[in-house]
Amino acid sequence: MAGYFLGVDLGGTKILTAVADEQGKILARKKLPTEANRGNDRVIENIIETIRSVLAEVGLKKENIVRMGVGSPGPLNTKEGIIYLAPNLGWENVPISRILEDRTGISVILENDANAAALGEKWFGAGQGIDNLIYITVSTGIGGGIIIDRKIYHGVNDGAGEVGHMVIDPDGPLCGCGNHGCFEALASGTAISRRGREAVERGEKTLLTDLCEGDLNKIDGGLIARAAQLGDQVALDIWSEAGYYLGLGFANLVNIFDPEMLILGGGVMKAGELIMEPMLASLKNYSFKSAFNSLKIRQAALGDDTGVKGAIAVAMGDRLYREG
């Protein structure tokens, strides 16, 4: 009997695949390194191996699987199932859906990883019961997934939700995209690390100088959080500033979307109060009272499973809407 779903979370460093029943409950999971450095074919073999492994573990065949959802970095084309460009995978124009369909005989739906994560949180995590929400992941970059009326809003080119390149200070620091003052150039983990390195380089009086043991590359969010917890003012200021810009960017989104809920994921949010306190003050300051007062702000609830549960939600698709 069909009635099961596969979710594949395809990342730059690891592939996490799971099989779930028709309620979305995970029955088996398998993680493998992506091995992007060994080429496209190797990555595909690794995906196939994770699928083979989870199906074998629960004794299911391809005939039992309704659909497979794949969450992948992009840009990509969800309708045609093509990954246009995924620098972390070294991929360009890979028709991943067709490749996996040919290899497995299972129907595939491709989704952008941030969108998949948003769906995962909406159906299985912090956003259950919420129809309109914005999911934002703050890590090396800032990505987003916009859910309107319980569905991902994709835009014309599957480009919607690229909130990381919203410009919030045109005189701000250079972003990887070539512009200045993008949201992610001011408030991402990369921006936070850069500020820590710059402070040490400028010779500011900060614990970071000792903590990094002479290696500027060791200065990351974790180290800056440690310095802040030890009372280091430079580190505290870095978190304040990042929180300020994070709140400002979120406020822009809240004013534009007036959403029910904002779900925050990604490594930077793990800094807890260090980032949440200045972020909330700034978000409140810059957003409309009515929108802010009704806004639910939640931490992502699925942790490392956000991606794979999102991929399962992608696979389940209409099934979820009928039940939810």
Residues 107-126 that bind a second copy (CB under 8 A): none
| Amino acid (1-letter code) at residue 149 | D
Residues 64-103 that bind a second copy (CB under 8 A): 75
Counting residues that bind a second copy (by CB under 8 A) gives 39
19 with 308: CB under 8 angstroms?
Answer: no
* Interface with a second copy (CB under 8 A), residue from 81, 127, 161, 266: 161
Closest CB to a second copy among residues 14, 150: 150
The string of DSSP letters for 165-218 reads G-BS-TTSPBPTTS-BSBHHHHHSHHHHHHHHHHHHHTT-S-THHHHTTT-GGG
* Interface with a second copy (CB under 8 A), residue from 294, 304, 321, 324: 294
Residue 102 tokens read as 């040919």
158 is a contact residue toward a second copy (CB under 8 A): yes
**Host H or E run for residue 308:** helix 306-316
169 is a contact residue toward a second copy (CB under 8 A): yes
* Interface with a second copy (CB under 8 A), residue from 170, 203, 214, 231: 170
129 is a contact residue toward a second copy (CB under 8 A): no
191 is a contact residue toward a second copy (CB under 8 A): no
* Interface with a second copy (CB under 8 A), residue from 256, 272, 321, 324: 256
Q: From residue 280, give the alpha-carbon distance in Å to each of 9, 157, 203, 242, 275.
A: 31, 32, 31, 12, 9
Q: Which stretch binds a second copy (CB under 8 A): 101-109, 121-129, 150-158, 220-228?
A: 150-158
Helix axes 221-229, 233-257, angle to 10 degrees: 120
Residues 6-65 that bind a second copy (CB under 8 A): none
Question: In the bound complex, what is the minimum distance in angstroms from residue 145's beta carbon to a second copy?
Answer: 12
Neighbours of 294 (CB within 10 A): 12
Partners of 7 in beta bridges: 18, 69
3-state secondary structure of 18: strand
290 is a contact residue toward a second copy (CB under 8 A): yes
* Interface with a second copy (CB under 8 A), residue from 165, 194, 218, 284: 165
167 is a contact residue toward a second copy (CB under 8 A): yes
Q: Which stretch binds a second copy (CB under 8 A): 45-53, 59-67, 216-224, 248-256?
A: 248-256
Residue 130 tokens read as 């919420």
Classify strands 91-94 and 82-86 as parallel, antiparallel or unpaired. antiparallel
162 is a contact residue toward a second copy (CB under 8 A): yes
Distance of CA 68 to the CA centre of its chain: 19
HEC readout, 140-162: CCEEEEEEECCEECCCCCCCCCC
| Amino acid (1-letter code) at residue 56 | A
Question: In the bound complex, what is the minimum distance in angstroms from residue 115's beta carbon to a second copy?
Answer: 12
Closest CB to a second copy among residues 143, 310: 143
Closest CB to a second copy among residues 111, 232: 111
Question: In the bound complex, what is the minimum distance in angstroms from residue 164's beta carbon to a second copy?
Answer: 9
Interface residues toward a second copy, by CB under 8 A: 75, 132, 146, 148, 153-163, 165-171, 179, 248, 251-253, 255-260, 285-286, 288, 290-291, 294
